[in-house]
Amino acid sequence: MTKPLAVLSFSGGMDSTTLAAHYAAKGYDLLLLSFDYGQRHRRRELEAAAGIAGYLGAEHHVVDLSSVAPLLPGTALTDPDVDVPDGHYAEESMKSTVVPNRNAIMASIALGAASARGAELVGLGVHAGDHAVYPDCRPEFVDALRELAAVALKGMHVPQIGTPFVGMTKMEIAALADRIGAPVAMSWSCYKGGAVHCGTCGTCTERKEAFADAQLTDPTEYAA
């Protein structure tokens, strides 16, 4: 019997790794799409994504959007003149890590691929912990994306949009990853992209707290 296909926007981070394991456990074949949009941590992120895809036996593609980076100044992820801030996501400085319309860009490509492949769903790893900082991680964004897909793909195959973590905290995602055996030890979160996770940027801080709050051993090596 042919398995249904799930097309995931896949960074190789903790959330998307857990998302991939979640859908694999539910019996889906996986098409994982990673994106090079000129992010400063892309080498470590894309290496992690490729390794996790291999571990899960998933089809994996890197979509080259690197030429978009110069069009997105002012964000710490794509502008070399903007430093990656340290601290917690709740802090005002974390707004400098917002890449305008990033999830919409990636989701649109995933929707096109999913429609062409006849996939059952497009999966996004957005979660409640990102709602305060990232507008394209909020439930209203997901609702609008579903409306867009219905219009943009009218008369063609329209995949579902799955966001199983949209109401979950990072701690709850860490707990789920532990329950289903997601290979989060292989994942990469740090925006600085060094030899190991820096331990101080927003994504590292959030990652540390998630494992601690879930009372789980953090498998990540941190510089600090």
Global pTM exceeds 0.75:
yes
Domain ranges (residues) in the chain: 5-213
Say whether pLDDT at 116 is over 70: yes
Residues 60-113 pLDDT 10s: 999 999 999 999 999 999 999 999 999 887 777 788 899 999 999 999 999 999
Topology of domain 5-213 in CATH is Rossmann fold (3.40.50)
| pLDDT tier for residue 12 given thresholds of 50, 70 and 90 | very high
pLDDT digits (tens, 9 = 90+) for 171-190: 999 999 999 999 999 999 99
List CB contacts of 42: < 8 A, sequence separation 6 or more. Answer: 36, 193
Distance between first and last Cα of the chain: 49
